[in-house]
Amino acid sequence: GSVLEIKDLHVSIEDKEILKGVNLTIKSGEFHAVMGPNGTGKSTLASAIMGHPKYEVTGGSITLDGEDVLEMEVDERARAGLFLAMQYPSEISGVTNADFLRSSINARREEGDEISLMKFIKEMDEAMDFLEMDKNMAQRYLNEGFSGGEKKRNEILQLLMMKAEIGILDEIDSGLDIDALKVVAKGINKLRDENFGCLIITHYQRLLNYIEPDFVHVMMQGRVVKSGGSELSQRLEAEGYDWIKKELNIED
Protein backbone atom coordinates (compact mmCIF):
# COMPACT_ATOMS: atom_id res chain seq x y z
CA GLY A 1 0.00 0.00 0.00
CA SER A 2 0.89 3.67 -0.29
CA VAL A 3 0.43 6.73 1.88
CA LEU A 4 0.13 10.28 0.62
CA GLU A 5 0.79 12.68 3.47
CA ILE A 6 0.09 16.37 3.23
CA LYS A 7 1.36 18.35 6.18
CA ASP A 8 0.79 22.02 6.92
CA LEU A 9 0.75 22.80 3.20
CA HIS A 10 0.93 26.46 2.21
CA VAL A 11 0.47 27.38 -1.45
CA SER A 12 0.46 30.76 -3.18
CA ILE A 13 -0.63 31.84 -6.63
CA GLU A 14 0.98 35.01 -7.87
CA ASP A 15 2.05 35.91 -4.31
CA LYS A 16 -1.45 35.45 -2.92
CA GLU A 17 -1.64 32.76 -0.25
CA ILE A 18 -4.46 30.33 -1.14
CA LEU A 19 -3.69 27.27 1.01
CA LYS A 20 -2.96 28.19 4.60
CA GLY A 21 -1.87 24.96 6.22
CA VAL A 22 -3.64 21.89 4.81
CA ASN A 23 -3.27 18.56 6.58
CA LEU A 24 -4.53 15.34 4.98
CA THR A 25 -3.41 11.73 4.90
CA ILE A 26 -4.68 9.37 2.21
CA LYS A 27 -3.83 5.70 2.34
CA SER A 28 -4.42 3.18 -0.40
CA GLY A 29 -7.69 1.43 0.30
CA GLU A 30 -9.33 4.67 1.48
CA PHE A 31 -11.75 6.95 -0.35
CA HIS A 32 -11.67 10.55 0.85
CA ALA A 33 -14.00 13.32 -0.26
CA VAL A 34 -13.07 16.99 -0.04
CA MET A 35 -15.98 19.40 -0.16
CA GLY A 36 -16.20 23.12 0.27
CA PRO A 37 -17.57 26.35 -1.14
CA ASN A 38 -16.22 27.80 -4.38
CA GLY A 39 -12.86 29.49 -4.20
CA THR A 40 -11.66 27.79 -1.01
CA GLY A 41 -8.63 26.21 -2.62
CA LYS A 42 -9.76 22.69 -3.54
CA SER A 43 -8.40 22.84 -7.08
CA THR A 44 -5.29 24.59 -5.76
CA LEU A 45 -4.70 21.58 -3.52
CA ALA A 46 -5.08 19.17 -6.46
CA SER A 47 -2.77 21.24 -8.64
CA ALA A 48 -0.13 21.54 -5.94
CA ILE A 49 -0.12 17.76 -5.42
CA MET A 50 0.47 17.25 -9.12
CA GLY A 51 3.09 19.99 -9.43
CA HIS A 52 1.41 22.59 -11.59
CA PRO A 53 4.09 25.27 -12.07
CA LYS A 54 1.74 28.14 -11.34
CA TYR A 55 1.23 27.02 -7.76
CA GLU A 56 4.09 27.90 -5.45
CA VAL A 57 4.48 25.80 -2.34
CA THR A 58 5.69 28.18 0.34
CA GLY A 59 5.57 25.82 3.31
CA GLY A 60 4.77 22.34 4.56
CA SER A 61 5.29 19.01 2.86
CA ILE A 62 3.78 16.38 0.58
CA THR A 63 5.22 12.88 0.75
CA LEU A 64 4.31 9.59 -0.92
CA ASP A 65 5.54 6.64 1.12
CA GLY A 66 7.98 9.00 2.76
CA GLU A 67 9.40 10.29 -0.53
CA ASP A 68 9.30 14.04 -1.06
CA VAL A 69 6.71 14.62 -3.80
CA LEU A 70 7.58 18.31 -4.03
CA GLU A 71 11.08 17.39 -5.18
CA MET A 72 9.69 15.26 -8.04
CA GLU A 73 9.07 16.49 -11.59
CA VAL A 74 5.47 16.21 -12.78
CA ASP A 75 6.12 13.02 -14.77
CA GLU A 76 7.95 11.49 -11.81
CA ARG A 77 4.87 12.07 -9.67
CA ALA A 78 2.81 10.07 -12.16
CA ARG A 79 5.46 7.35 -12.26
CA ALA A 80 5.43 7.22 -8.47
CA GLY A 81 1.73 6.30 -8.64
CA LEU A 82 -0.16 9.59 -8.39
CA PHE A 83 -2.94 10.24 -10.84
CA LEU A 84 -4.67 13.57 -11.31
CA ALA A 85 -7.96 14.06 -13.11
CA MET A 86 -8.11 17.78 -13.77
CA GLN A 87 -11.21 19.92 -13.51
CA TYR A 88 -10.36 21.17 -17.01
CA PRO A 89 -8.35 18.46 -18.81
CA SER A 90 -6.09 19.80 -21.54
CA GLU A 91 -6.38 19.04 -25.24
CA ILE A 92 -3.40 17.61 -27.08
CA SER A 93 -3.70 17.88 -30.82
CA GLY A 94 -1.91 15.26 -32.90
CA VAL A 95 -1.77 12.68 -30.10
CA THR A 96 -4.50 10.06 -30.16
CA ASN A 97 -6.17 9.04 -26.99
CA ALA A 98 -4.89 5.47 -27.40
CA ASP A 99 -1.29 6.60 -27.98
CA PHE A 100 -1.41 8.87 -24.98
CA LEU A 101 -2.78 6.10 -22.78
CA ARG A 102 -0.27 3.56 -23.94
CA SER A 103 2.70 5.84 -23.40
CA SER A 104 1.36 6.86 -19.98
CA ILE A 105 1.06 3.21 -18.98
CA ASN A 106 4.54 2.44 -20.26
CA ALA A 107 6.01 5.43 -18.43
CA ARG A 108 4.95 3.64 -15.20
CA ARG A 109 6.69 0.41 -16.23
CA GLU A 110 10.34 -0.60 -16.37
CA GLU A 111 12.18 -0.38 -19.65
CA GLY A 112 11.88 -3.71 -21.46
CA ASP A 113 8.61 -4.46 -19.64
CA GLU A 114 6.34 -2.30 -21.81
CA ILE A 115 2.75 -3.45 -22.29
CA SER A 116 2.33 -5.30 -25.59
CA LEU A 117 0.10 -3.72 -28.20
CA MET A 118 -2.24 -6.73 -28.11
CA LYS A 119 -2.62 -6.64 -24.35
CA PHE A 120 -3.07 -2.89 -24.39
CA ILE A 121 -5.83 -3.02 -27.01
CA LYS A 122 -7.59 -5.81 -25.15
CA GLU A 123 -7.50 -3.92 -21.84
CA MET A 124 -8.56 -0.68 -23.48
CA ASP A 125 -11.48 -2.38 -25.23
CA GLU A 126 -12.65 -3.92 -21.98
CA ALA A 127 -12.35 -0.66 -20.07
CA MET A 128 -14.17 1.27 -22.81
CA ASP A 129 -16.98 -1.28 -22.81
CA PHE A 130 -17.23 -1.04 -19.05
CA LEU A 131 -17.46 2.75 -19.26
CA GLU A 132 -19.93 2.55 -22.16
CA MET A 133 -17.65 4.61 -24.37
CA ASP A 134 -17.79 4.86 -28.13
CA LYS A 135 -14.80 2.91 -29.52
CA ASN A 136 -13.83 5.65 -31.95
CA MET A 137 -12.88 7.76 -28.90
CA ALA A 138 -9.63 5.76 -28.88
CA GLN A 139 -8.45 7.19 -32.17
CA ARG A 140 -9.47 10.78 -31.57
CA TYR A 141 -6.94 13.38 -30.50
CA LEU A 142 -6.74 13.70 -26.74
CA ASN A 143 -9.66 15.73 -25.43
CA GLU A 144 -9.96 17.64 -28.71
CA GLY A 145 -13.62 18.42 -29.26
CA PHE A 146 -14.62 16.02 -26.48
CA SER A 147 -17.82 17.01 -24.75
CA GLY A 148 -17.66 17.67 -21.01
CA GLY A 149 -19.03 14.21 -20.30
CA GLU A 150 -16.64 12.52 -22.75
CA LYS A 151 -13.67 14.22 -21.08
CA LYS A 152 -14.71 12.97 -17.65
CA ARG A 153 -15.30 9.42 -18.87
CA ASN A 154 -11.95 9.54 -20.58
CA GLU A 155 -10.24 10.57 -17.34
CA ILE A 156 -11.80 7.53 -15.69
CA LEU A 157 -10.60 5.37 -18.58
CA GLN A 158 -7.07 6.63 -17.91
CA LEU A 159 -7.51 6.00 -14.20
CA LEU A 160 -8.70 2.43 -14.79
CA MET A 161 -5.79 1.66 -17.07
CA MET A 162 -2.95 3.49 -15.32
CA LYS A 163 -2.92 1.40 -12.15
CA ALA A 164 -2.31 4.47 -10.04
CA GLU A 165 -2.00 4.03 -6.28
CA ILE A 166 -3.48 7.37 -5.31
CA GLY A 167 -5.97 9.23 -7.53
CA ILE A 168 -6.87 12.90 -7.16
CA LEU A 169 -10.20 13.57 -8.86
CA ASP A 170 -11.09 17.24 -9.11
CA GLU A 171 -14.80 17.78 -9.83
CA ILE A 172 -14.99 14.64 -11.91
CA ASP A 173 -18.76 14.99 -11.56
CA SER A 174 -19.17 18.54 -12.81
CA GLY A 175 -21.40 18.94 -15.85
CA LEU A 176 -22.41 15.28 -15.98
CA ASP A 177 -25.95 14.13 -16.56
CA ILE A 178 -27.19 11.40 -14.26
CA ASP A 179 -26.31 8.51 -16.61
CA ALA A 180 -22.76 9.73 -17.13
CA LEU A 181 -22.44 10.34 -13.40
CA LYS A 182 -23.39 6.73 -12.69
CA VAL A 183 -20.86 5.46 -15.22
CA VAL A 184 -18.10 7.60 -13.72
CA ALA A 185 -19.01 6.34 -10.24
CA LYS A 186 -19.02 2.75 -11.49
CA GLY A 187 -15.49 3.25 -12.84
CA ILE A 188 -14.20 4.67 -9.57
CA ASN A 189 -15.92 1.96 -7.53
CA LYS A 190 -14.29 -0.70 -9.71
CA LEU A 191 -10.94 0.50 -8.38
CA ARG A 192 -11.92 0.08 -4.78
CA ASP A 193 -9.39 -2.28 -3.27
CA GLU A 194 -6.51 -2.18 -0.85
CA ASN A 195 -4.09 -1.00 -3.55
CA PHE A 196 -5.92 2.16 -4.47
CA GLY A 197 -6.85 5.28 -2.57
CA CYS A 198 -8.39 8.48 -3.78
CA LEU A 199 -9.25 12.03 -3.02
CA ILE A 200 -12.56 12.98 -4.58
CA ILE A 201 -13.00 16.73 -4.75
CA THR A 202 -16.61 17.65 -5.26
CA HIS A 203 -19.05 20.43 -4.79
CA TYR A 204 -22.06 18.22 -4.41
CA GLN A 205 -23.26 15.26 -2.41
CA ARG A 206 -24.75 13.89 -5.68
CA LEU A 207 -21.64 11.88 -6.65
CA LEU A 208 -21.30 10.64 -3.09
CA ASN A 209 -24.67 8.94 -3.40
CA TYR A 210 -22.90 6.51 -5.74
CA ILE A 211 -19.41 6.45 -4.23
CA GLU A 212 -19.47 6.14 -0.50
CA PRO A 213 -16.44 7.90 0.95
CA ASP A 214 -14.75 6.58 4.07
CA PHE A 215 -13.84 10.13 5.10
CA VAL A 216 -15.29 13.54 4.27
CA HIS A 217 -13.30 16.74 4.73
CA VAL A 218 -14.56 20.29 4.49
CA MET A 219 -12.24 22.96 3.14
CA MET A 220 -12.81 26.61 3.87
CA GLN A 221 -10.53 29.55 3.30
CA GLY A 222 -7.54 27.42 2.47
CA ARG A 223 -7.73 24.92 5.30
CA VAL A 224 -9.41 21.64 6.13
CA VAL A 225 -11.72 22.84 8.89
CA LYS A 226 -13.73 19.71 9.59
CA SER A 227 -13.50 15.98 8.93
CA GLY A 228 -15.96 13.17 9.45
CA GLY A 229 -17.66 10.25 7.76
CA SER A 230 -20.23 10.20 5.00
CA GLU A 231 -22.87 11.65 7.36
CA LEU A 232 -20.97 14.94 7.07
CA SER A 233 -21.54 15.24 3.32
CA GLN A 234 -25.22 14.45 3.81
CA ARG A 235 -25.54 17.23 6.36
CA LEU A 236 -23.77 19.66 4.00
CA GLU A 237 -26.19 18.77 1.23
CA ALA A 238 -29.17 19.37 3.49
CA GLU A 239 -27.94 22.44 5.36
CA GLY A 240 -25.14 24.05 3.34
CA TYR A 241 -21.98 25.41 4.97
CA ASP A 242 -23.31 28.10 7.28
CA TRP A 243 -23.55 25.87 10.34
CA ILE A 244 -19.85 25.03 10.03
CA LYS A 245 -18.95 28.70 9.79
CA LYS A 246 -20.98 29.38 12.93
CA GLU A 247 -19.59 26.38 14.76
CA LEU A 248 -16.01 27.37 14.00
CA ASN A 249 -16.47 31.15 14.08
CA ILE A 250 -15.37 31.59 10.47
CA GLU A 251 -16.08 35.01 8.98
CA ASP A 252 -16.91 35.36 5.26
Q: Given the rule CB under 6 A, which residues bind ligand ADP?
A: 13-14, 18, 36, 38-44, 54
Interactions with Mg ion, residue window 46-105 (CB under 5 A): 65
Shortest approach of Mg ion to residue 148 CB, angstroms?
15
Give phi and psi for 140, each to the nearest 5.
-80, 155
Cα–Cα distance between 157 and 151 in angstroms, integer? 10
Shortest approach of Mg ion to residue 164 CB, angstroms?
11
- Residues that contact Mg ion, how many (by CB under 5 A): 4
Amino acid identity for residue 237 in this structure: E
2 binds, among ligand ADP, Mg ion, none (CB under 5 to 8 A by kind): Mg ion
Provide the mask over 12-51, with x wherever binding to Mg ion is found by CB under 5 A and - wherever it is not: ------------------------------xx--------
Asked if 2 interacts with Mg ion (CB under 5 A), we say yes
Asked if 202 interacts with Mg ion (CB under 5 A), we say no
Which residue's CB is nearer to ligand ADP, number 60 or number 81?
60
Among 230, 225, 231, smallest CA distance to 244 is for 225
Which residue's CB is nearer to ligand ADP, number 40 or number 154?
40
Cα–Cα distance between 127 and 251 in angstroms, integer? 46
Asked if 233 interacts with Mg ion (CB under 5 A), we say no
- Output the CA angle 199-29-130, nearest 5 degrees: 75
- 3-state per-residue secondary structure call for 143-194: CCCCCHHHHHHHHHHHHHHHCCCEEEEECCCCCCCHHHHHHHHHHHHHCCCC
Shortest approach of Mg ion to residue 130 CB, angstroms?
25
3-state SS assignment for residue 23: strand
Q: Which residues bind Mg ion (CB under 5 A)?
A: 2, 42-43, 65
